[in-house]
Amino acid sequence: MDRKNTICLLNDSFPPVIDGVANAVENYAREIEEKHGHAIVATPDVPGADDSGYDFPVVRYPSIDTRPLVGYVAGIPFSAELSARLYKENATLLHSHCPVSSTILARELRETLDIPLVLTYHTKFDIDIENAIRGRLLQEEAVRILVRNISACDEVWIVSRGAGENLRSLGYEGELTLMPNGVDVPRGRVGAEEIERVTGEYDLPEDLPVYLFVGRLMWYKGIRIILEALAKLQATGADFRMVFVGSGGDETEIRALTEKLGLSGKVLFTGAIHDRSEIRAWYCRADLFLFPSTFDTNGLVVREAAACSLPSVLIRRSCAAEGVTDGKDGWLIEDNADALFAKLTELSQDRDAIRRAGEQAAEDLYLSWADAVSNAYERYETVIDNYRSGRYPKHMRIQDGILAANGALMDVFAQIEEMRRSMNEQLKKPLDRFSGWFDL
C-alpha cells in the first residue's frame, strides 16, 4: 500500500457532536493514520470543541450554531483555509460522509485540488428532509438537489444493501459500491468486576431478564414498539428490566409514555454514554438487544452487541437485520408490538437459545474497523488510479450546481405562486356573483 496517500474525511458532525456517522469518521481517520497513510478530518466549527487529543489533524470550517433547533451546527461549505491546508498536505482523495454541506464543500475542493471525491451514504436523508422541511413541493425539490449532489461524486459507497435501495428510491441512478462500516467494540466479553462497576448502581436483579437498547432516543428508532410490547409482557405478570442507553429529541415524550404505561419501575434510562468501555459493559450485562428500527441503514449497534455475544431482536427486512439469520444468530419479527411481545414471551422460556444465538452472532456478524477501513483504503487506491486515468465522467461544477439549485427553487416558488393565483381565481368567481346582487 502507498503510505503517502492523504485522505480528507468530511462530515457535518464530529465530536463533541456525537452520532453514528461521526463515530465512523473518527474510526476511519484513526485506522488510516495508524496503518495506511495520512488522514485529515474537515468538519464544521463547534463552540468548545477540543481536537487536541487526536493523532490526526481536525480542521474546522465556519458554521452557524443551530444545535438548539436541530441538534447540529450548520456548516458554511466554503473554506479557503481548508483548501490551502489540503494543498500543502498534498491530499490525494476526498471522502465525504454527508451528502449535504460536506459534499458541497468537497465538490468545491475537488475543483481546486483536482483529486477524486467519494461519498458514503449512511442514513436515510429523505426522512431527515421530511422532518426538517414543511411542504411537499419543497421536500421533493430538496430530494432532487440532494440526489444531484450525490450524483456529482466520482464514486458512491453504501453501508448496506438497504441504504442503496433507499438511495435508488430517491432517484439516484449511478453505480454503487457496498462498503460496510466496522465496529469499534472488541470481540469478547468484559469481566464481572467491570460489569458491576458500570451497572451496579441500577436495580438489575440477577434472576430477571435484562433487555437493552443503545442509540438516540427518537421515535423512528422503534421505541414505541418496545414500550408497548413491554406493557403487554408486564400485563402477563412477567418481571424484567429494560435499559435505554442514550439521549435524543424525543426523550421527554418517551419517558412520558413509559410512565403512562406503568413501566417506570422496570424501565431504566442511563442517559448518553460516550465511554465505549462502559457501553461494552452494558452489552455484556444484558440478555437481549432490542432494536426494532426500520430507519437505520446499517445498525452498527447490532454488530457491537454481537461482539459481546449479545443477540438482537430486529424487524424483518430492515437494514439493521441484514446478515442476521432468524433463530440462528438473532431473531426477526414483523414491525409491531404484538410480534415483539410474542418473541419476548417465547424466549423467556428458553435462555439456552439466547446464549447459543449470542455466541453465533459473535462469529457471524462482527466486522472490526481495522478490516473495514483496510477494505476502504484498498478501494481508495483504485479510485485514485481511475481518476488520474480519466475513467470517471466529468461532473457538473459546484457553481453550476448552485445555479441549477437556485433555478429549481425559483421554479418551485413559481409553482406555488401559480397555485395561489389559481385558488384566488376560483374563489373570486362566486364572490363576483355575490357582489353583483348589490348592483341590482
Q: Is 44 helix (H, G, I), strand (E, B) or coil?
A: strand
In CATH, 192-366 is 2.40.340.10: no
Q: Is 7 helix (H, G, I), strand (E, B) or coil?
A: strand
Q: What is the full DSSP assignment across 319-371?
A: GGGTTPPBTTTBEEE-SSHHHHHHHHHHHTT-HHHHHHHHHHHHHHT--BHHH
pLDDT at 207 over 50: yes
Could you tell me the residue ranges of all domains in the chain?
6-182+371-395, 192-366
- What is the predicted pLDDT for the residue at 413? 47
pLDDT at 2 over 60: no
Beta 117-121 vs 155-158: how paired, if at all?
Answer: parallel
What pTM, to 2 d.p., does this model score? 0.76
Contact 241, 204 (CB under 8 A): yes
Architecture of the structural domain at 6-182+371-395 = 3-Layer(aba) Sandwich (3.40)
Q: Same fold for the domain at 6-182+371-395 and the one at 192-366?
A: yes
* pLDDT tens readout for residues 142-182: 888 889 999 999 999 999 888 899 999 999 999 999 999 99
| Confidence label for 20 from pLDDT (cuts 50, 70 and 90) | confident
| DSSP run (H or E) holding 396 | none
- CA 40 and chain centroid, separation: 21
